[in-house]
Structure 1
Amino acid sequence: MEDAIKTVVMTYIKSSKGKENLDSSSFKKLVSKQLGGIMEDADSSSAIKEMQKGLDENSDGKVNFSEYLNLIGYLANAMSQKQCGSTEAAS
């Protein structure tokens, strides 16, 4: 678990190049390179723009760490539901 948390934090720091926020370009790269295996539209520029807009709670055009964590939480929840659904269907 500790390694997973470190990975989430370090991925953000590397993607933001040590800045407080991910700009549009950095966010797009993070999603397409790091989340392509678990997100359907990770290669769609328009879908990524809409995702960024939806995460951007303070409407500054950037994704801060807290907003990024909302995305991670959403993805973790979706993955959990998918796995639990697979387990229940197999029973």
Structure 2
Amino acid sequence: MQMLIKTFHKYSGKEGDKYTLSRGELKELLLGELGSYLGSGKDNEGVEKVMNDLDANNDGEVDFTEFIILMGALTVACNDFFLDVKPEDKPKE
């Protein structure tokens, strides 16, 4: 939990409200922290879709609650992916 909180605040507040992520801050966070999970780092359309999906109150910013929804959804998606991977195909730790 602490890592999620610290990561959010590492990017929030660079532009405007220190308790929310602007579009630019969200893009920087997605590319910097989750690029390997989200595919192409140059996909502005994808970042825009994530922003629109997360911004539940349509204020143009993502607050911590909206951010946690993304983290939960990504965690579920990763879990579902690994459930479908055969044991012999799983990366060795």
**Structure 2 gap ranges (5+):** none
Identical-residue share of aligned pairs (%): 24
Amino acid of the residue matched to residue 9 of structure 2? I
Measured on the aligned residues, the alpha-carbon RMSD in Å equals 1.8
Partner residue, 1:60: 59
Q: Is 2:43 the counterpart of 1:47?
A: no
Deviation at 1:43, TM superposition (A): 2.9
Deviation at 1:52, TM superposition (A): 0.2
Amino acid of the residue matched to residue 44 of structure 2? S
Structure 2 length normalisation: TM-score?
0.83
Evaluate the alpha carbon distance shift between residue 74 and residue 83 of structure 1 in structure 2; reply closer, same or farther with a 3 A threshold. same
Once the two structures are superposed, residues 12-34 of structure 1 have per-residue CA deviations (whole angstroms, 9 ceiling, x without a partner) of 01110381100111001000111
Indicate the SS of the match to 1:57: coil
Deviation at 1:89, TM superposition (A): 8.5
Once the two structures are superposed, residues 7-64 of structure 1 have per-residue CA deviations (whole angstroms, 9 ceiling, x without a partner) of 1110001110381100111001000111011112443111101110111000000000
